[in-house]
Amino acid sequence: MAKQAVILSGGFGTRLSHVVSDVPKPMAPIKNKPFLEYIITQLQNQGFDSFIFLTGYKSEIIENHFKNLPNAQFIKEETALGTGGAILNAFEFLNDDFYVINGDTFFDIDFSILENFGNNKPCTIALRYTDNISRYGFVEIDKDFEISSFTEKGNLPDNRIDGYINGGIYYIKKSILKKFVDKFTGQFISLETEIFPELLKNKELFGLPLGGYFIDIGIPDDYYKAQESIPEWINKKAKPALFIDKDGTLIVNTEYPHGKNFEIIKSTIDIVKKYSEKNYHIIMVTNQAGIAKNKFNFEEMNEGFEGIKEFYRSKGVIFDDIEFCPYHKDGIIKEYAYDSLLRKPNPGMILRACEKLKINLKNSIMIGDNSEIDNIKLPYLKCEVLVSA
């Protein structure tokens, strides 16, 4: 099926004005190529073949650069319409289902995962995990991935440190916009603050946590960072990962194991070696509530990690990453006494690994020993619980 990308590309780039002032924000240069060109390449590599550029400020720069792009349309807003108004202005050109992409945000997701999840839902937002919601606010989802609320960054609760944020990618059924077209065409309306709340009220809005490198070039510090990070990321090849639990899977689960006093579970060795030989990323993911509960410190925890890595290195296996959660809501160390999306079965550790390593999540697997903890809350990640003999 044809994939249509509707790209919001009319931004002024106010915060970037002292850095890049002569082009629309999505055309800001990254290593001598417009930022938007990286997004188009990313989309084409995933099967997109139809593009609608919603332009505004200096639209001719975008039109001239992409005029030879097959199946490209350029729809300029003559007056500011907002993100929602710009999409409604293009209504007659939209496919029955389409994707909206923020033209100043790079979020390297697997669009087939988003489509498989959202193909029977009115609107699905790609969510990104962040350990710093103070900068963004956050999005709450229920067990069925229906969005239950949006919390702005000025109204954050004291008991939250991390959460899901809007990743700037939306999979939308055209039919749900009809009521807005009839009422708001030609008017300024925000997708985020006016259309989404209405969909939320009607239980038509879903959010799917996804992993991949994320950067917003609208912030000068991140724009400078993107000069190296985006070209480097684009050149990486994605490969699947073995996410594997520590206590009870890699080592015998004594009470709060730490340091070098551990016992390797022999039956797991061949499993890890098998995935390593298949060229999977090997990533340990482990809840470490002992930090929050003051059972051991970071040095002792890391000593245990190094001991496990050293053992597996002797077997020809290299761990590409270790993700851990030091938080627990019943902790006695105040700075770690939080409920966190890092803590399994929440997927924070999985998604955080995906920002460091280019991971093919659809073909990855999580292996652990506890059916309640190691069945990760991601509908597209295969999870397997080992049964003790």
For the chain, 389 residues long, the average pLDDT of each consecutive 10-residue run is 85 58 84 93 93 90 92 89 91 95 94 95 96 83 94 74 93 95 86 92 97 90 92 93 97 89 94 97 97 96 97 97 96 93 97 96 97 96 83
User: What is the rounded distance in angstroms from the CA atom of residue 306 to the CA atom of residue 297?
Assistant: 14
Question: How many CA atoms does the CB half-sphere of 262 hold within 13 Å?
Answer: 29
Q: Can you give the pTM of this predicted structure?
A: 0.93
On whether both 345 and 371 belong to a single domain, the answer is yes
Report the C-alpha gap between 306 and 313 in whole angstroms.
10
Same domain, 296 and 379: yes
Torsion-angle region of 207 (φ positive above 0: left; ψ -120 to 50: alpha; else: beta): beta
Same domain assignment for residues 200 and 253: no
Catalytic residue among 110, 247, 321, 369: 247
Q: Which domain holds residue 281?
A: 241-385
CA atoms of 305 and 297, how far apart (whole Å): 13
**pLDDT given at position 275:** 98
CATH code at position 305: 3.40.50.1000
* DSSP 3-state percent helix, strand, coil across the chain (nearest 5): 35, 25, 40
**Whether residue 126 is found in the same domain as residue 203:** yes
150, 200 Cβ separation under 8 angstroms: yes
Structure tokens at 307: 């001991």
Which pair of structure tokens corresponds to residue 297? 């410190």
| Residue tagged active-site, from 245, 321, 369, 374 | 245
Q: What is the pLDDT of residue 304?
A: 96
- Whole-number pLDDT of residue 361: 96
CA nearest neighbour of 62 among 30, 105, 27:
27
Q: Which residue has the tokens 């710009």?
A: 86
Structure tokens at 136: 């963004």
Tell me, yes or no, if 247 is annotated catalytic. Answer: yes
Residue 162 annotated to the active site: no
Alpha carbons 36 and 34: distance in angstroms, whole number: 5
Task: Say yes or no: 204 and 270 in one domain.
Answer: no
- CATH code assigned at 140: 3.90.550.10
User: Domain end: 170, 204, 234, which one?
Assistant: 234
pLDDT at 56: 82
Predicted confidence at residue 266, as pLDDT, reads 96
- Number of domains present in the structure of the chain: 2
| Cα gap 194→7, rounded to integer Å | 19
- Look at residues 234, 259, 283 and tell me which one is the last residue of a structural domain: 234
- Last residue in a domain, options 197, 216, 234: 234
**pLDDT score, position 355:** 95
